[in-house]
Copies of this chain bind each other. A is one copy, B any other.
């Protein structure tokens, strides 16, 4: 049986998952591709460190040259994360004719084009299923099964950390800070959770999904985004009362010739397919003009779920090695006739905290009206306290108009503060 020799760059959570799956499911894998997958080298920073998988010490190296200069190695699997070194090593590997599998969303979202071009020039494959949605086969589905569709819409709950936090706030009535702490203690959030809770991680993933689904490159930093740090357990309570769940949603939607895209905590109607995605689970909802609505739901992170996606890519490449087949170009950007409109228009939820005195509501609704923001519903529940929450759901409005109205409302006498503003998905 032919043996495909592989090197891993990085041997953390995902690297260990890949290593363990290869051992545990060896028989299945070999019978499926009729080739053997052999890990020859693993690049690490510290040879002595304890890890989640037992690789023989002679497999470990601190020197990338041991890998890229080894002519026996066919494939390099980059699981270091981040951009700096990972980017550098990936380029050297490609130039040395190694096929690439990566789980690195930051790198693909930021430098996918250059990397892809380099791979084509060097006649090697690059695959990155694990960069979005962990074990969920979203890239394969978009590039293969749905390849004949024009995609109309993608909505994703694609960050397990924030979804775990929001689920705990919803189900346990926890505060944001306590839920972050629980997520950290449960291994669902990093010591520094900034990239997750500020929506940066999701923006990387949405940028990749937009490439694949629409053939359009929007760099992650150009995607309008908002994290979940301003959401209170009160907002979640109001959402429930109004028939919604709060999720951090990545969205890209065609509206005629416009493409709207954003990463924002959003109100999802309780019967929306994404509203029931809980805790560390991820899901992607796709509307294609042929397939209709499709939902993929599974584990968006973790050692073996992400490892499963990495291995799926590795096996596809292993099958192709030794043939003259060069699969198509998932990162070609040619959907260029769409207008990129960013946030677009939407209904919004606005949560104010105000003094409970006569005339306040009138002043606020006038300010909304002045800036062309129409109101669908207002909730005011006085409980005999001096200050009260005041909740508005608007009709479709550009965010600019809403922000102008809010600016005026902020300065209205009796408005104590703007608690939160959230998009409402319909």
Which A residues contact B (CB, under 8 angstroms)?
17, 21-22, 24-25, 28-29, 31-34, 129, 135-137, 140-141, 143-150, 215, 273, 276, 288-299, 302, 304-305, 307-309, 311-312, 314-316, 319-320, 323-328, 332, 334
Contact = CB atoms under 8 A, between A and B. Distances in A.
A21 B290 contact: yes
B328 A32 contact: yes
A144 B137 CA distance: 9
A423 to B, nearest CB: 24
A200 B293 CA distance: 26
A235 B307 CA distance: 43
A187 to B, nearest CB: 15
Nearest to A18: B148
A312 B276 contact: no
A334 B33 CA distance: 13
Contacts of A305: 290-292
Given A28-B150, A140-B145, A273-B297, A290 B319 contact: no
A291 B315 contact: no
Copy count, this protein chain: 2
A294 B135 contact: yes
Contact of A34 (B33, B34, B328): B328
Contacts of A146: 137, 308, 312
Mostly helix, strand, loop or mixed at chain A's interface?
mixed
B304 A291 contact: yes
Contacts of A326: 323
Ranked nearest first, the 8 interchain pairs of A and B with the lowest CB-CB distance are: A137-B145, A325-B325, A148-B311, A290-B308, A294-B298, A135-B291, A291-B308, A323-B325
B147 A29 contact: yes
B302 A292 contact: yes
A149 B17 CA distance: 12
A315 B28 contact: no
Given A295-B295, A316-B144, A328 B290 contact: no
Which of A136, A148, A288 has the most B CB atoms < 10 Å from its CB?
A148
Contacts of A144: 137, 140, 144, 312, 315-316
Given A32-B328, A327-B319, A148 B291 contact: no
A21 B289 CA distance: 9
Contacts of A307: 148, 290
A28 B291 CA distance: 15
Nearest to A28: B150
B298 A291 contact: yes
28 contacts: A21-B149, A24-B150, A25-B148, A25-B149, A25-B150, A25-B289, A29-B148, A31-B334, A33-B147, A34-B328, A135-B290, A135-B292, A140-B140, A140-B144, A144-B144, A144-B315, A146-B308, A147-B312, A148-B311, A148-B314, A149-B308, A290-B305, A291-B298, A295-B298, A296-B297, A319-B327, A323-B323, A323-B325
Given A32-B328, A145-B129, A276-B276, A299 B289 contact: no
A150 B311 CA distance: 13
Which of A290, A314, A315 has the most B CB atoms < 10 Å from its CB?
A290
Nearest to A149: B308
A127 to B, nearest CB: 11
A329 to B, nearest CB: 8
A32 B17 CA distance: 32
A24 B289 CA distance: 9
A67 to B, nearest CB: 22
A311 B298 CA distance: 25
